[in-house]
Structure 1
Amino acid sequence: MLKGSRFLLLLLGLSGAVAGTRADSIALKTGERIEGRITVETDTELTVVVRVSAGINDERVIRKTEIVKVDRIAADETAFRAIMDFQPGKASFQPAQYSGMIGALQGFITQFPESIHVKTAQTARTALETEKKRVDVGELKFEGQWLSRAEAQKQRTQIGGTLTFAAMKKANASGDAIGALNSFTYLEKNFPGAKVLPDAVALAQQILAALKPAAERALANYKINNAERERGVAAAGPADKAEMLAAFQREQAKADAAIAAATAAKTWPPFAIGSEKCISAILAKIPAEAKRLEALPVADMRASITVADKARIEFASNNVETASDLLQQVLKLWPANDLGLQMKAQIAASKLPPKTVPVAVAATPAAATPSAKPAGATPKPGGTPAPSAQPEPSPATVTATTATPPAEPEAKPFFMTVPGAITIVVALAVLLGGANLFNHLRARREEPED
C-alpha cells in the first residue's frame, strides 16, 4: 500500500480512526468499560472515538461524573502513534508534505528524547530528508521507482489513481466508510483509466454491503434517542427547554447544509448519527450505487489490463506488429484503459519516419577568372589556353537531411501536472475529513447498545 495516503489522512487527524491496537480505557460507574481514543477533554467531559463495526466508528461524549477511572496511553506512545507512518513508501510526497513530516518527527525527538521510539523517528527523518532532495530537483517516486518529470507526467493517471485508491483503502480501514466512498467517486471521475479501478470497484461494493446494515442500526438508534430527547425537552424548565430546542435546530440545520453540499457535489452525505435526514439519505443512495457498480464490466477491465501487460512485453521486444494486434484487444475490452492508451501512443510514434529540416550549406566561391587577352594577341608557344571570360557557375545551395530535435512538450496547466494531481488528492482528503466533523453534532448522551 502506498504510504502517501497515510500522510494525507494523519495530517487531518485521522478523523474517526482508532489508531493502532492499543487504546485509552475508561471505566464507568455502571460497570461498563469503554475502549477507544480520547480526542477531546474539557473540565466536565471526555470525547472518545470508539469502533462500532468494521467499517464505522462513533464518538461518545462522557461526563466525568460518570467515570470511575481512566487509563491512558503514555504521552510518548500517543505522540508516536500519530507519526509512526511518517516514512518513505512506494510513492514520493510533495515538498511541503516532506517538510511537515520531517518537522513532526523532529518535534517528537525534541519533546521525548528518552523515548524508545527516538531512534526510529531519527531514521525516518533522515530517509525523508534524502527523498526530499530528489523531489526538489523534479524527480518523483511511483510504485518504488523514481521517475523524471517528463516520465511522471506520462504516468499522471496511474499515479493519481493509485494515490486516491490508497486514500480510499486507508479511510475504510480507519472506519470512515463515507470518506472511502467519496475517494472512490473522485478516482472514478478523475482517473477513469487507472489500472486500480477494478480493485476500487470491488472495494466499493464491499463497503456498501457493510454500510447498509450499519446505517439501518444508526437510524433505529436515532429514533430511540430522539424519543428520549423529546421526553427530556418536555420535562425541562422553560430556560433549559429553549436551549435544548435551539441546539437541536442548529444541529439539524448543519446536517441539512451538509446534505445539500453533498448533493451538489454528487458525493456521499456525512454519516451523522444525530441527523435522521443524513442517515436516510445514505440509505436511499446505497441501492442505486450498488446496482450501478454491479453493471460495470470489471471482468473486461481486468482482462484488458492483462492483455496490456502482454502488449508491453511484445513492444519492448520490438515485436511491434504483435503489440499492435494485442492493443486492439486491450482497447476493445476497456476503451479507457490508460495502459492501452499509452501503448497506442508509443506504437504510433515508433512507426513515424524521422522528421527532416533543410540545413543551408554555404556556397563555394568560384575560382578567379583571368582577363581575356586582346584580339590578335598571339599566345606564347606551349602556353595554356586562357579560360573563358564567363565564370564557372557557383555550386547551388544544397540541403542535408538531419533528424529534427524533439519538440519541447507544451506547457500544461498546474492541475494537469502530477504535482497538481497529487495536490488535488490532498484537497480531496481535506474535504472528506471535514465530513467527519458532523459526528460532533450528535446529542451528548450515550447511544443505546444494539
Structure 2
Amino acid sequence: MKFAHSLCTTALVSLSVISHCASADHHEEEAIKMIEPSVFKLDQADIDNIRQRMQEAVDGEFIPGALILVGNSDGVGLLETAGFQTSAGRNPVNSQTIFRIYSMTKPIVSVAAMSLIEDGLLALDDPIEKYIPEFSNLRVIDRDSGEVRAARNSITVENLLTHESGLIQAIFSPDSELGKMYQRDFPDYSDITARDLAGRIGKLPVYFEPGSAWHYGHSTDVLGAVLEVAAGKALDQVLNERIFEPLGMDETSFYLSSDKAERIAEPNFGAMADNTQVRAMLSGGGGLNATTEDYVRFAEMLLRGGEYRGTRIIEESTLDLMREKRIGSEVSREFFFYGETGDWGLGFHLQPTTEDPDGPHNFGWRGIGGTLFLVDEENDFYMIYMEQKRGGPRAPFNNNVAQRMVYEAMRD
C-alpha cells in the first residue's frame, strides 16, 4: 500500500505546534561526551585494529586523514582519527574538521521536508508541479528507442524522497539519451539556483514512469526547490530554522566563511569545490559542509526518535514512516545500487543488519567524497565516518570497511 499511512494532508498537522516549539539552546553544549567503549561491546583490541587500518590508508597516501565515531544517546564510545586535514600535514583531523558531506545532505533535507509536512505546508502525495510548474507536462523517454511520450502520473513529493521520480543524474547514467540531455542542458549548475535547476529538469523527460522504478539522481535537489516554494524561504533558511539552529549545528552550511578555510579537509585525489566561494546553487542533494560534531547532533536526534536533548525536530511517528521500506514489489530494482539487498525509505538507505533480509535494518546514507553515517535503532547506536577522497586507487580502509569492522567487533 503506497500511502495508507496518510501523512498526506492533516494527520500530523495537529502535532506541528509541539514539533518545533521546544527550543533549548544547544549551541554552547558539547555534542561529544565520551563514554566507555564497552557499552558498544568494543574492546581495546577492536579499537587498535580499526585505528591501524585507518592509519594504513593514510600511510599509503590514499587519503590525508579520516575519523570514525560510534555513539548513542548517552555519549560516544569510539572516536578515532588518523592523519591530517590535507596532504600538507599541518592540522590533524579532529571533530571540528569541516568535510564536504555531499549526499549526507539528503537525509537532512528529507527530515526538513517531513517537518514541513507536519506543519501542513507540504504533503507526500502533492504533485510537484504544484510547486515547480515546469513539471506540468511530464514526459517519459523510452530507454531503447529514445522516443518520448506523455507520462501517466505526476511526480509526487514521496517519489522525490524515495528516488522513484524518474529523475536521474548524468554521472549515474552517462551513456543514456537522458543522461546526455542532462549533460547538454546543465553541465555545470553551480551558478544557477536550485529553483532554476528544477525548472530545467522539469522540461526534460523522465527515465521511467514515476513510482515504477528506483534510480539515484537529482530528486533531492528538486525536493530542495520544492521546500523553498512551499516554505517561501531559501533552502538554507529552511534548514537553519528547522534543523541547524534547534540542534546547535553551527558549523553546517552550504558555504563557508574564509576564516574556516584552515579547517576544511581536502583529498589527495580528485578536485573538490572551494566552498568558501559563495555560489547561487543551494544543492539539497549534496551541497552541505559539516563537522563530525555537528553531524553527531543530527544522528543522535534520529536515534532518539526525532528529539535531541529536549528539542523535538520531528515526531517519532513521522520518523517511523521515514524508516519504512518503500521499494515495493511493483518497483523495479534494475538501477538500485544494492540489487535485492536492502531498501530505501523516505530519504534514507535501509541496510539489513543480519543475514535475514526481512530482519532489522539500520538507516542512513553516505557521501561521494567518502563519508558515511548510519543509525541502528535495534542495536542502539549511530556511526559516522569522515574522509575526503575522489578517485584514485582503492584504499585499504574506507566507509564500507569502517562499517563492516564496527559491526564485526560488536558481534564478537
TM-score (norm 2): 0.26
Instruction: Give the structure, 1 or 2, with the largest relative contact order (CA under 8 Å, sep 6 or more).
Output: 2
**TM-score normalised to the size of structure 1?**
0.24
Rg larger in structure: 1
